[in-house]
């Protein structure tokens, strides 16, 4: 196994991790920004008020995108297993 193969696998892993984390992070970001904006407009400065909507947004993002996320992860794992003979051969 040469360094190019290792770097290729590492790059693919990082891209996959970013793709899998994006729906949850983006939904939490949007909801957090919206709640923060509403809090600043209404001058309600309750810290716990932003936690529940962000948690619900993250859970709903997992429900909506969960099947796609698992499919991507399984596909990537199958591709890694398919690469093993080529990596061992040289």
Domain residue limits, the chain? 3-85
Q: Which two tokens stand for residue 51?
A: 């936690």
26 against 42, higher pLDDT = 26
Task: Give the span between the Cα atoms of 82 and 89, in whole angstroms.
Answer: 13
The alpha carbon torsion through 48, 54, 55, 58 (nearest 10 deg) reads: -170
Quote the pLDDT of residue 80.
94
- Judged against a pLDDT cut of 80, whether residue 64 lies above it is answered with yes
- Given a contact cutoff of 8 angstroms between Cβ atoms, the answer to whether 53 and 33 are in contact is no
What is the average pLDDT score of the chain?
A: 92
Confidence class of residue 28 from pLDDT cuts 50, 70 and 90? very high
Quote the pLDDT of residue 86.
87
What global pTM score does this model have?
Answer: 0.81
CB atoms within 10 A of CB 15: 11
Radius of gyration of the chain (CA): 20
């Amino acid at each position: 196994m040469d360094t190019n193969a290792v770097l290729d696998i590492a790059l693919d892993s990082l891209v996959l991790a970013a793709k899998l984390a994006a729906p949850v992070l983006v939904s939490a970001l949007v909801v957090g920004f919206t709640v923060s904006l509403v809090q600043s407009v209404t001058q309600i400065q309750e810290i716990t008020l932003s936690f529940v909507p962000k948690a619900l947004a993250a859970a709903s993002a997992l429900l909506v995108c969960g099947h796609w996320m698992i499919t991507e992860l399984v596909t990537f794992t199958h591709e890694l297993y398919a690469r093993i003979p080529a990596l061992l051969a040289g």
